[in-house]
């Protein structure tokens, strides 16, 4: 995993993102559950053929501390990147768990 300002996010203009890398046993998933404290809807991208491909969820189930993004199709990738929206002033992002679901 490569963590840049996600677990220890700092308020300010820098982008906040989290990247998962899988070298062996690529996971298959059609949904991603992102659990934590943040505002806005996270954007998900996967690494395909040497470039980032944006994923558009077909459905989003959102609660106060969770978002489950359903992409409606089975996906596989060596990298998954989650970009978070700019947070309100002085607010940090807290991630508790990221879950890949079928």
- With CA atoms as reference, report the closest residue to 44 among 11, 20, 73: 20
Average confidence score pLDDT of the chain: 85
Q: Are strands 16-21 and 2-4 parallel, antiparallel or unpaired?
A: antiparallel
Which pTM was predicted?
0.83
* Residue range 51-96, pLDDT digits in tens: 999 999 999 999 999 999 999 999 999 999 999 887 777 677 888 8
Which of left, alpha, beta for 12 (phi over 0: left; psi -120 to 50: alpha)? Answer: left
Q: Which domains does the chain have, with CATH numbers?
A: 2-6+22-101 (2.60.120)
């Amino acid at each position: 995993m490569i963590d840049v300002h996600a677990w220890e996010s700092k308020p300010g203009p820098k982008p906040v993102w989290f990247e998962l890398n899988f070298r062996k046993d690529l996971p298959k998933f059609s949904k991603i559950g992102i659990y934590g404290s943040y505002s806005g809807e996270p954007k998900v991208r996967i690494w395909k053929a040497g470039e980032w491909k944006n994923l558009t969820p077909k459905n989003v189930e959102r609660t106060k501390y969770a978002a489950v993004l359903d992409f409606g199709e089975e996906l596989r990738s060596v990298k998954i990147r989650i970009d978070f929206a700019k947070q309100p002033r002085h607010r940090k992002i807290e991630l508790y768990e990221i879950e890949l679901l079928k």
